[in-house]
Copies of this chain bind each other. A is one copy, B any other.
Amino acid sequence: MTSSLNPDAIIEAVESVINRSDFEPLHAPQFEGNEWKYVKDCLDTGWVSSVGKYVDLFEKMLADYTGTKHAIAVVNGTAALHVSLKLAGVVSDDEVILPAFTFIATANAISYCGAVPHFADIEFSTLGLDPEKLARYLSEITEMKEEGCFNRITGRRIKAVVPMHTFGHPVDLDPLFEVCVKYRLELIEDAAESLGSYYKGKHTGHWGKLSALSFNGNKIITTGGGGAILTNDTILARQAKHITTTAKIAHAWEFVHDQIGYNYRLPNINAALGCAQLENLPEYIRLKRNLAERYANAFADIQGVKFFKEPPNSQSNYWLNVLILDESCASYRDELLAKTNQCGIMTRPAWRLMHQLDMFSQAPRMDLTNSEALSNRLINIPSSPSIVSRTMEVNNG
């Protein structure tokens, strides 16, 4: 078996697709729609803050786009996760299962609830939680009681599972949902990266009791900073709105709050940006899927590396494009990262795995072979929708 990888060939393949003039970021937003118009409207009317029509409109547009009953706009994706976990009933000393392969926010949100992250492995085909491996693991370590599913080793209740749709690629949700039903675990989707991604024809976020979106600057659409909770449960939606807006009881002038709440409101001016961005989302997805196709072609014959394609049964937003180095070529990763970044092509490795961070090193976890293998072999490459729009004419002309 040959194990050669030529970093320059990889750079050439990327260059052939992105056709850059100078520095190429990993993901840059585009503001070529109604962004100006809506933001200026906020300034002209004085409605920039917690009240104003764009928050309501953005929530309605999000619900419509994702096909969920309710969307609650919040200040960012981390806040969306925190509140989703809380409303799903996660309390102090519960354990919550999540992939070791994720962005820190998933684990942090669990910690904010006083709960303990419990790390599970991912599968190669989705880069997300492996339902079958999880089922096997749970059958070994848990016992069911009146109050739910308990970890026999730690004695703690396992309350929820938080899959994350890595770089926009949907987790295999149907079997995961079944595992959750069997073990009476709440399913909360971390859909921060998967706005515009579908699994079996339905938008991600539909399987979770509640799900979290992010509109951070690097996401497929941005509100500056922002997030949303998706849910089909009307009572939970009402509670989500209530506790993200300081749990104030509606009244013309009285200030009465009926529980400990949060200031997790999305300001109107950020929601205005979101409305304009959401109008362009179908176009971004078209451009990004086209970009992924170009990368797939450019890397078809490059040795030592594979371009990651969307999992079966799913249609991905291809938020961040992914190269996976062959197992035998993993040692080239750092050289490749250094070379690409030095020459102005921004690339990034996987996040440090959660159980390898000091504060989570003692947290419970299953065997994480796949996570560990993948994290050493994965590189994200430039993925802005603008790449395709600026090269469109060239290719069409």
Contacts and interface: CB of A to CB of B under 8 A. Distances in A.
Interface of A: 28-31, 35-36, 39-40, 42-44, 46, 48-51, 75-79, 103-105, 108, 111, 114, 216-218, 222-225, 246, 248, 252-263, 265-270, 273, 337, 341, 347-349, 351-352, 357-359
A305 B348 CA distance: 65
A39 B50 contact: no
A258 B337 contact: no
Given A31-B43, A43-B39, A108 B222 contact: no
B267 A217 contact: yes
A49 B246 contact: no
A12 B104 CA distance: 57
A50 to B, nearest CB: 6
A51 B104 contact: no
A246 B105 contact: yes
Contact of A359 (B105, B223, B260): B260
Contact of A349 (B254, B273, B337): B254
A217 B224 CA distance: 17
Contact of A48 (B43, B273, B352): B273
Nearest to A247: B104
B269 A270 contact: yes
Nearest to A77: B263
A337 B253 CA distance: 8
A359 B247 CA distance: 11
A212 to B, nearest CB: 12
| Number of identical monomers bound together in the oligomeric complex | 2
Contact of A358 (B78, B255, B258, B267): B258
A118 to B, nearest CB: 16
A42 B31 CA distance: 10
The list of the 8 closest CB pairs from A to B, nearest first, reads A49-B217, A224-B267, A225-B267, A78-B263, A255-B351, A224-B269, A48-B224, A31-B43
Given A31-B43, A43-B39, A267-B270, A222 B49 contact: yes
28 contacts: A28-B46, A30-B46, A31-B43, A42-B224, A48-B217, A48-B273, A75-B225, A76-B263, A103-B255, A104-B246, A104-B248, A104-B257, A108-B261, A108-B263, A217-B267, A224-B267, A225-B266, A225-B270, A252-B341, A253-B341, A253-B348, A253-B349, A254-B352, A255-B352, A257-B359, A258-B357, A259-B358, A267-B270
Given A39-B269, A256-B352, 8 more contacts: A36-B43, A75-B225, A103-B255, A108-B261, A223-B267, A224-B267, A225-B266, A253-B349
B260 A108 contact: yes
Contacts of A252: 341
A216 B42 CA distance: 15
A30 to B, nearest CB: 8
A36 B40 contact: yes
A254 to B, nearest CB: 7
Contacts of A222: 48-49
Point out which of A263, A348, A359 has the most chain B C-beta atoms below 10 A from its C-beta: A263
A114 B114 CA distance: 9
Contacts of A29: 46, 48-49
A216 B352 contact: no
Nearest to A224: B267
B262 A216 contact: no
A326 to B, nearest CB: 21
Contacts of A76: 75, 263
A283 to B, nearest CB: 17
Nearest to A225: B267
Contacts of A266: 225
Nearest to A43: B31
B43 A35 contact: yes
